[in-house]
């Protein structure tokens, strides 16, 4: 079994080798796949992310969606989602990630769908993230199934790995959308 740190380095290196043009092209393909699904139909509150380090860029979708919320990192490794209104109001956080300057924070239970980034994934819906556990902690309410946000991993097709092992704290994805397909575990 390959450990998470080794897997993370491998897939981050692959992603970082993408040219800006390739990121733009593949991101456009992913956005088309997203819009072709039923996940976002009749959905008001959608959590997304600001792409960094060659992640799939979702910015072209922001104007297509009803109410977009982006993550904001707070003290003590806490994450909240705040309303996105325009690119002009984004500010860079200590990790170099752009986040809303808005004070319109949404409660986790009010988010219908979350399009979340990942480093790697498997077909069982297990995602390997950057290692901070922000999304697993934030969407912990999904484990009790009383309130369920649809968690959709966003990735390039080459980020798939059958060597990812689930941990007890991992919250499985409801789907993964890549530039080539929609995967439903």
What total of structural domains would you count in the chain? 1
What is the structure's pLDDT at 43? 80
The pTM of this model reads 0.91
User: Given this model, what pLDDT does residue 101 score?
Assistant: 87
DSSP lists the bridge partners of residue 152 as 115, 175
> Which residue range is the domain that position 87 belongs to?
4-183
In a structure prediction context, what are the per-residue pLDDT tens digits for the chain, which is 185 residues long?
Answer: 578 888 999 999 999 999 999 999 999 999 999 999 888 877 889 999 999 999 999 998 888 887 899 999 988 888 999 999 887 789 998 888 999 988 889 988 899 999 999 999 999 999 999 888 888 888 876 666 656 889 999 999 999 999 988 887 778 899 999 999 999 99
Give the pLDDT of residue 146.
57
- CA triple 172-176-178, angle to 5 deg: 155
Distance from C-alpha of 147 to C-alpha of 88, rounded to nearest angstrom: 33
What does the alpha-carbon distance between residue 104 and residue 114 come to, in Å, rounded to a whole number?
17
Nearest alpha carbon to residue 48 among 106, 126, 120: 106
CATH number at residue 67: 3.40.50.10420
Tell me how many helices (H) and strands (E) the chain has.
Answer: 3, 12
| pLDDT at residue 50, as a whole number | 94
């Amino acid at each position: 079994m390959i450990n998470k740190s080794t897997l993370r380095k491998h897939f981050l290196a692959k992603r970082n080798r993408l040219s800006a043009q390739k990121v733009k092209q593949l991101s456009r393909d992913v956005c088309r796949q997203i819009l072709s699904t039923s996940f976002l139909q009749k959905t008001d509150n959608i959590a997304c992310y600001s792409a960094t380090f060659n992640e799939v860029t979702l910015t072209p979708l922001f104007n297509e969606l009803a109410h977009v919320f982006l993550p904001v990192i707070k003290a003590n490794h806490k994450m909240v989602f705040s309303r996105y209104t325009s690119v002009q109001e984004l500010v860079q956080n200590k990790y170099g990630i752009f986040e809303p300057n808005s004070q319109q924070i949404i409660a986790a239970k009010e988010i219908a769908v979350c399009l979340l980034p990942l480093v790697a994934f498997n077909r069982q819906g297990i995602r390997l993230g950057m290692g901070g556990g922000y999304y697993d902690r934030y969407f912990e309410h999904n484990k009790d199934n009383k309130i369920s946000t649809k968690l959709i991993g966003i990735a390039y097709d080459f980020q798939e790995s059958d060597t990812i092992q689930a941990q007890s704290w991992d919250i499985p994805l409801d789907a993964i959308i890549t530039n080539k397909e929609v995967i439903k575990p």
